[in-house]
Amino acid sequence: MRRLPPCFQCGDPVLDLRGQDIVLPTYYLRPPPSPPDEEVLDAQAYGYAHLRCFVGSRWGPLWAARTRENMEGVRHFPVVLESDDLVLLRHEVLSTRDTIAIGSDGYYASFADDGIRARRPTPGGALIPVRHELNLEVTGRGAFADEIVGALRQGRSFPLLGLIDGLGLRRRLWSEAAVADGRLEPRPDVEDDDDGELWIEAIADYHKFVPDDILDQVLEVSPVLR
Ligand SMILES: [Zn+2]
C-alpha cells in the first residue's frame, strides 16, 4: 500500500488509473553521459504523471524513445507496426496477450486481447473493461474520503468519480467517458485496523479508452481479434 504520489508535471495526486496515468521509471533512461537523459533527472521529470499533463509535453518524445528501447531492446517485445507517430509492440508470454502502443508524443497504453474483444463503442473510440485492486492512503484528504471509506466498510460500492472529484482530478483525466460509470467496490479481505490512517482499499471497476485510429491499427496487427 502506498501514499498518493504527485504528478511530476502538475503536482496533483496520481491515482495510477489504467489509461489515465503513466509511470516512467528512471531505469529506462540511458546512463551518463547522455545530456537529454541527465536533463530529465535534473528536472525530476520521471515517476508518476497524468497522461493529460504528460502527452505532448517537452518530455514526451524522449520518454517515448526510452520506453520503446526498454520494451524492444531489453524485454524483446517484437515491434508489429511502426509509423511516424505510433509504434505497436506485442507482449506474448504464458497467458498474456497484450498490444502496447507508444506514441511519439509520449502516449502510452497497453491493451489485452481479451479487453479488446470485450470493448464497447463510445464517441471517438471504444471502452475496454478494467478491474484491479486500488489501495490509497487518504488520511486528512477531506469529508469525501471518510464517505468513501465508510461506504466500503459497510459493504457498499461508491462511484469512482467521487474519488476523482474529491481530489480535484477531473480536469486531469485523459478520458472522462472511461471512468464515468466506474465504481469502487468493497473487498471482503480488508481488515478494519484502527491505526489512525485512512485507507481506500477497494476493487476499482472502470474502463480504458482506446481511440479509433489506434484501435484500427491494433486490430490490423492482431487478426484474431477481428
Ligand atoms: Zn498532472
Distance 107 CA to ligand 1 centre (A): 14
Q: Are 114 and 97 in contact (CB under 8 A)?
A: yes
Strands in 59-198 per DSSP E: 79-82, 86-93, 96-103, 108-112, 120-122, 125-137, 158-159, 183-186
Question: In percent, how much of the chain has pLDDT > 70?
Answer: 96
Interval between CA 19 and ligand 1 midpoint (Å): 14
Residue 27 one-letter amino acid: Y
Is the whole model's pTM more than 0.75, yes or no?
yes
Residues of the chain with pLDDT below 50 are 1
Ligand 1 center from residue 117 Cα (angstroms): 31
The CA 13 to ligand 1 mean position distance, Å, reads: 8
The pLDDT value given to residue 226: 66
Distance 184 CA to ligand 1 centre (A): 22
Measured in angstroms, how far is the CA atom of residue 166 from the centroid of ligand 1? 15
Domain boundary assignment for the chain: 21-225
Query: Which pLDDT belongs to residue 190?
Result: 77
Closest to 168 measured CA to CA, from 142, 188, 130 = 142
Ligand 1 midpoint to CA 119 (Å): 27
Give the pLDDT confidence score for residue 188 in this predicted structure. 83
- pLDDT tens digits, 133-156: 999 999 999 999 999 999 999 999
Calculate how far, in angstroms, residue 15's C-alpha sits from the geometric centre of ligand 1: 11
Cα distance from N-terminal residue to C-terminal residue, the chain: 39
In the chain, how many H helices and how many E strands? 7, 11
Give me ligand 1 centre to Cα 48, in Å.
9
Q: Which three cell numbers stand for residue 1?
A: 500500500
Residues by chain with Cβ below 5 Å of ion ligand 1? 7, 9-10, 50, 53
Rounded to the nearest angstrom, the distance between the alpha carbon of 53 and the centre of ligand 1 is 5
pLDDT at 176: 97
pLDDT of residue 51: 98
Ligand 1 center to 93 CA (angstroms)? 33
Gap from CA of 95 to ligand 1 centroid (Å): 33
Distance 14 CA to ligand 1 centre (A): 7
